[in-house]
Chain A
Amino acid sequence: MSKEKDQKKKRSPLLKMLFGGKGDLSIYEEELVQSPLRTIISNFRDNKVAMTGFIGFIIILLIVIIGPFIYPIDTSFSEVSQINVAPGLDMMDVPKQLQGNIKQISIGPTFSVGISNDGEVFIWGKTRISSALDVANIPEDMGKIVQVSAGFDHIIFLNEDGKLFFSGNNRQRQCSPPYEVENLTNIKQIEAGYQSSIVVTEDGYVYYFGNSMNNDYNEMNPYQGQIDKIVTTADGVIGLTKSGEVVYLGNQQNAYTRFPENMGKIVDIGTTASTVAAVNEDGKVFVWGNISTKGEGKPPVLEEKIVSIQGGRYHYTALTENGKIVSWGANNYKQSEVPSELKDVKIVNYYTDYYQNYAIDENGNLHTWGLKGYVFGTDELGRDILSRLINGGRMSVFIGAVAVVISTIIGIIVGSISGFVGGKVDTVLQRISEMVASLPFLPFAMILSSLIGNALTSNQRIFMIMVILGLLSWPGLQRLVRAQILSIREQEYVTAAKSVGIKQSSIIFKHILPNVVSVIIVSATLDFATSMLTEATLSYLGFGVQPPQPTWGNMLYGANNSIVIQNYWWRWVFASIILGVCVICINLIGDGLRDAIDPKSQER
């Protein structure tokens, strides 16, 4: 007993505020008389389980209300290079052994590969491409590697003897060099593109193998023997000749072949997924191709000369003659936001591709910026699950809340009229209510959604779901309110109110309803949980809110096959957890409220 007392005293004020706990009364004190509302609140606060649920729900609520402002959602977003990325923030975690000893880094969509000055290979990031493929499974006995290149889903290695090695996806034969390539001894540059591999020799010849449907490359191009450097976009091959001219190595006439005029002698070229950039002798940058609105076509105006350029997925990073780094273009992963610490150091080398940037300053220190990874992974369209969870949560909670408001209003009105007026009105209303209650909820909601929903826009559809949920779930509350009112109607104060001639409607709403508010609150809380569950089930089956607008239910829509369940667990686990936790919290609050309002039920 005394031990228990000690523990009570130790409780911090914060815990006391949250979880209540009555102080011990001395013998001279008397417990204060409390209003019923205060009793309910203090009862509720004494209930640790309910209070935990309450805090949990408030936290979730805050996250889904404030979160969307921090992580705004772009419903049209999709990124093919970031599909089904596992959770984790290790995409730019360069291994310790490599730091300070970097010879080259090459960057893929979700992984990076680096070689040390000793020719050792390091691969980091999300290296699993599919359930069976992992680019980190590199061939053994490669010898001393002198050059690497990471492509969309494969990596090329070149060792000091001029031999090529590959890892990753070989579906388009991008890892199976033809005979003449295998015998080359004078390889100067290797380039892994989108499902393609390109080799450039010292004497300016280009060899291409891999996907030839998607990538436009002409083997018989007139520039064989003159090529100095090759870069690839997502669908084209661009070369820089030894005489400083940019050439397109494909068959088609397209945006890449619309070269800007008067470029002069070009010293370096770079590409994003759909644009080409070139730097001329005077340090001027030209960008052409299918320029998007993301800003890669607008290089910043600088006083210094730019000497080299590299492109990411939708951004460019360039180095000036004084060792300054500039970045421009898309910034959705902060990939073109050069860290401020780089202002005062001289950069000697840098590597940019996809969404990552690595820069090495003159002291050999490594600086990185761009996409670190995804806390909760990405889904089948490359969308960040965290931001979808947050935005989807807002939608789920909002739909549940509006549905409950609708059903509560209907329930209160029908229940109070039915209970107070009685007679024929009561009979008719009760029959209607029974009818609605006897409807099989889920199938009926589904048929309504599919019959009405076809002609609606996505916002109207969301509204329709709320209304359907609200219209189908009021009978339970109605019955409760009616029963309460039937018992209260006979009490003296109602008779008194009637006898002084107060209007019926104000007797119902001002004199009787306040006495049933507690019942309504409990029922509404539990209904809230049910509505959220129903919405999730509907959306999961494809009859609720439609993608791309996320809700916790429809985020699980694609999860129903064993490949996703097994290999891409993050696509269903997080949404399930947060939905489950949220509903559990709401149910705990509802139970706690019921116990607090009706102490008799606490015995249960």
Chain B
Amino acid sequence: MLKYVGKRIMYMILVFLIMSIVLFFLYNLIPGDPARAELEPIKNKITPEEYQYRYQLARQRLGLDDPMPVRYAKWMNGVLHGDLGMSSIYKAPVNQVIVNPMKITVFINIFSIIITLAITIPLGIFTAVKKNSIFDKSVQVLTIIGYSIPIFIIALLFIYLFAVKLGWFPVSGLNTPNFSGTAWEEFKDTMYHLALPLGVMTVGSLGGLTRYIRAAMIDSLSMDYIRTARAKGLKERVVIFSHAWRNALLPIITLLISWLMSVFAGSLVVERMFNLKGMGDFYISALVNQDYNVALAIQLFYIILALLGNLLSDLSYGIVDPRVRVNK
């Protein structure tokens, strides 16, 4: 088992390195001279000779004349030591700038994942058990619509309905401006502001997930051991939850992990639309404003997240399904 985990982690690191190389070289394709950009504000205050001197100094300091591999090694060294470079917009180190957005994104995503799972798992199981009932059929239709509509259209509809027409929820922000109160009140205020985005994210991922859970559940309900369990006279509840559901979990976990990644990517759109200053919104602003150090850092975060997800899904097989021998 340990050997397997070690192998997976080595592989993860390899993939991470390859991806960082690809990103780094893409990043260096962009025309532009950071040294010149750095000196731009004081260009008019100093003599041309001094400018030239400082420019050469800056080039040397930033290592712009080094060959590509050396520059990559320097950059990677910095990344591994937690130095992600400077943000050109915020004039601060990227790893400081990025902390707050990351908190917000993780907060939103964890909430939306909990809500979504709380809805889809019971719904998926129920529709599988009551297969072909009217309820099942209508859920089927709704889920097809749900996963066919892009999340920004769902968001537009939600805003139109709940914020513009009914006026129940605010459209943007995380808190009421200048909010003060106890921690609990602040949490309530935040949740009130997050109601719409969380609703949108939940509805957006409801469709595909419910369908998948239902299919996995139906597969496992049609197995022989279920018939055996029923024949033994077990209660239907026991049959469904401990016999069928345990076995349906395996394919579901694979999907869940890849879904977790897509939730983070999906929250990018939602954050943008509801003006939540999370990673996604930050990422888009960075790309639009050509603040590539920030964009690169966030991209690396997304990749690490994805790789961790893959590792988790591989490891969880062993936990959920003893048949899968992970130490092969």
Give the B-binding residues of A (Cβ under 8 A).
431, 434-435, 438-444, 446-448, 450-452, 454-455, 529, 533, 536-537, 540-543, 556, 559-560, 562, 565-566, 569, 572, 576, 579-580, 583-584, 586-588, 591, 603-604
Please tell me if the beta carbons of A440 and B302 are within 8 angstroms of each other in the complex. yes
A447 touches B11 (CB 8 A): no
CA separation between A591 and B309, bound complex, in Å?
A: 28
Point out the residues of chain B lying under 8 angstroms from A579, CB to CB.
150, 153
Contacts of B264 on A, CB cut-off 8 Å? 440
CB–CB B265/A435 < 8 A: no
* Sampled A-B contacts (25; CB under 8 Å): A434-B15, A438-B15, A438-B303, A438-B309, A439-B303, A440-B305, A444-B299, A446-B284, A446-B287, A450-B295, A452-B29, A455-B31, A529-B148, A537-B152, A540-B269, A542-B288, A543-B287, A556-B153, A562-B163, A562-B164, A580-B145, A583-B150, A584-B148, A591-B144, A604-B218
B268 at interface, CB cutoff 8 A: yes
Q: Which residues of A contact B302 (CB under 8 A)?
A: 440, 443-444
Tell whether, in the assembled complex, residue A565 and residue B156 are in contact, meaning their CB atoms are under 8 Å apart: yes
Cβ-defined contact, A451 with B306, below 8 A: no
6 additional A-B pairs beyond A442-B265, A443-B283, A562-B163, beta carbons within 8 Å, are A435-B19, A439-B306, A443-B302, A576-B149, A579-B153, A580-B145
Give the chain B neighbours of A603 by CB distance below 8 A: 218, 222
Which residues of B sit under 8 angstroms from A440, Cβ to Cβ?
A: 261-262, 264-265, 302-303, 305-306
Closest Cβ–Cβ distance, residue A153 to chain B (whole Å) = 25
B203 at interface by CB-CB < 8 Å: no
A542, closest chain B residue (CB)? B288
- Of B29, B145, B214, which is within 8 A of A584 by CB? B145
Question: When chains A and B are docked, how far (Å) is the Cα of A442 from the Cα of B270?
Answer: 13
Q: Is B194 part of the contact surface with A, judged by Cβ < 8 Å?
A: no
B310 contact set on A, CB distance < 8 A: 434, 438
Report which residue of B15, B153, B283, B296 has the largest number of chain A beta carbons within 10 angstroms of its beta carbon: B153
**Residue in B27, B150, B268 whose CB lies within 8 Å of A533:** B150
Complex: how many Å from CA A537 to CA B262?
Answer: 13
**Chain A proximity of B98: nearest CB distance (Å):** 14
Name the one of A448, A556, A562, A604 contacting B26, with C-beta atoms under 8 angstroms: A448
A559→B156 contact, CB < 8 A: yes
B307 touches A537 (CB 8 A): no
User: Any chain A CB within 8 A of the CB of B46?
Assistant: no
Q: Which residue of A lies closest to B222 (CB)?
A: A603
Does any Cβ of A come within 8 Å of B30's Cβ?
yes
Interchain CB contact under 8 A, A562 and B171: yes
Smallest distance from the beta carbon of B230 to chain A beta carbons, Å? 18
**A583 near B299 (CB under 8 angstroms)?**
no
Residues of B within 8 A of A572 (CB): 156
Least CB separation from B207: chain A residue: A587
Asked if B168 is at the interface (CB within 8 A of a chain A CB), the reply is no
Q: Which of A431, A533, A541, A584 contacts B144 (CB 8 A)?
A: A584
B298 touches A580 (CB 8 A): no
> How many angstroms between the C-alpha atoms of A556 and B157 in the bound complex?
12
Contact of A447 among B164, B215, B299 (CB under 8 A): B299
- B11-A431 in contact (CB<8A): yes
Q: Are the CB atoms of A565 and B284 closer together than 8 Å?
A: no
Measured in the bound complex, the distance between the Cα atoms of B282 and A446 in whole Å is 13
**Of residues 162 to 204 in B, which have CB atoms within 8 Å of A's CB atoms?**
163-164, 171
| Chain B contacts for A434, CB-based, 8 A | 15, 310
* Distance (whole angstroms) from the CB of A535 to the closest CB of chain B: 10
Q: Is B206 an interface residue (CB 8 A)?
A: no
- List chain A residues, Cβ under 8 A from B153: 556, 576, 579-580
State A440–B310 Cα separation when bound (angstroms): 12
Q: How far is the CB of B169 from chain A (nearest CB, A)?
A: 12
> How far is it, in angstroms, between the C-alpha of A588 and the C-alpha of B143 when the chains are bound?
12
A587–B208 Cα gap in the complex (Å)?
Answer: 12
Residues in B with CB closer than 8 Å to A562 are 159, 163-164, 171
Q: Which residue of B lies closest to A581 (CB)?
A: B148
- The winner among B148, B149, B159, B261 for most chain A CB atoms within 10 A is B148
B319 contacts chain A at the CB level, 8 A cutoff: no
What residue of chain B has the Cβ atom nearest to residue A576's Cβ?
B153
Q: How far is the CA of A584 from the CA of B146 in the complex (A)?
A: 9
Interfacial chain A residues near B13, Cβ < 8 Å: none
Check: B244 CB closer than 8 A to any chain A CB.
Answer: no
Question: Could you give, for residues 80-114 of chain B, a 1 whenever the CB lies within 8 Å of some chain A CB and a 0 otherwise?
Answer: 00000000000000000000000000000000000
- Among A440, A444, A542, chain B packs the most CB atoms within 10 A around the CB of A440
Identify the interface centre among B145, B151, B156: most chain A CB within 10 Å of its CB: B156
A569 to B165, CA, bound (A): 12
Task: State the CA gap A556–B265 with chains docked (Å).
Answer: 19
Specify the chain A residue showing the minimal Cβ separation from B11: A431
Q: A456 to nearest B CB, angstroms?
A: 12
Tell which of B147, B269, B292, B306 touches A537, judged by Cβ atoms closer than 8 Å.
Answer: B269
How many whole Å from B267's CB to the nearest CB in chain A?
10
Q: Which residue of the partner chain, among B18, B157, B214, B287, contacts A435 with CB atoms under 8 Å?
A: B18
Cβ of B249 under 8 Å from chain A: no
Known: A560-B273, A562-B164. A438 touches B147 (CB 8 A): no
> In the complex, A584 Cα to B147 Cα: how many Å?
8
* A583 engages B148 (CB within 8 Å): yes
Query: Which listed residue (B156, B163, B303) contacts A576, Cβ 8 A?
Result: B156
In Å, the complex CA distance between A438 and B11 comes to 13
B241 at the interface (CB under 8 A from A): no
A139 nearest CB across to chain B (Å): 31
Tell me the residues in window 274-318 of chain B with beta carbons closer than 8 Å to chain A beta carbons: 283-284, 287-288, 290, 292, 295-296, 298-299, 302-303, 305-307, 309-310
Interface contact B299-A443, CB-CB below 8 Å: yes
Pairwise interchain contact B298-A443, C-beta atoms closer than 8 A: yes
Distance of A536 Cα from B148 Cα, bound (Å): 12
Smallest Cβ-Cβ distance to B28: which chain A residue: A451
B23 on interface, CB distance cutoff 8 Å: yes
A452 and B23 CA atoms in complex are apart in Å by: 12
Among residues of A, the one whose C-beta sits closest to the C-beta of B30 is A451
- Per the bound structure, the CA–CA distance linking A442 and B271 in Å amounts to 14
Interface 0/1 of B24-36, CB less than 8 Å to A:
0011011100000
Chain B residues closer than 8 Å to A439, beta-carbon distance? 19, 303, 306
CA distance A431 to B18 in the complex (A): 12
- Asked if A540 meets B262 with Cβ closer than 8 Å, knowing A438-B310, A439-B306, A446-B283, the reply is no
Q: Are B148 and A442 in contact (CB under 8 A)?
A: no
Across the A-B interface, give the 6 residue pairs with the lowest CB-CB distance, nearest first.
A440-B302, A442-B265, A584-B148, A583-B148, A576-B153, A450-B287
Residue of B nearest to A557 (CB): B152
B151 in complex: contacting residue of A537, A542, A560, A588, CB < 8 Å = A537
Bound-state CA distance A441–B306 (Å) is: 10
**Shortest beta-carbon distance, B89 to chain A, in Å?**
15
Task: Check B215–A604 contact: CB distance below 8 A.
Answer: yes
B135 within 8 A of A: no
Known: A533-B150, A562-B164. A587 touches B15 (CB 8 A): no
Instruction: Say yes or no: is B53 at the interface (Cβ < 8 Å to chain A).
Output: no
Q: How far is the CA of A542 from the CA of B266 in the complex (A)?
A: 15
Q: Which of B19, B30, B156 contacts A454 (CB 8 A)?
A: B30
Which residues of the other chain, A, contact B269 by a CB distance below 8 angstroms? Answer: 442, 537, 540-541
Which partner residue on chain B sits nearest A440 by CB separation? B302
B4 contacts A by Cβ under 8 Å: no
Docked Cα-Cα span, A588 to B211, in Å, equals 13
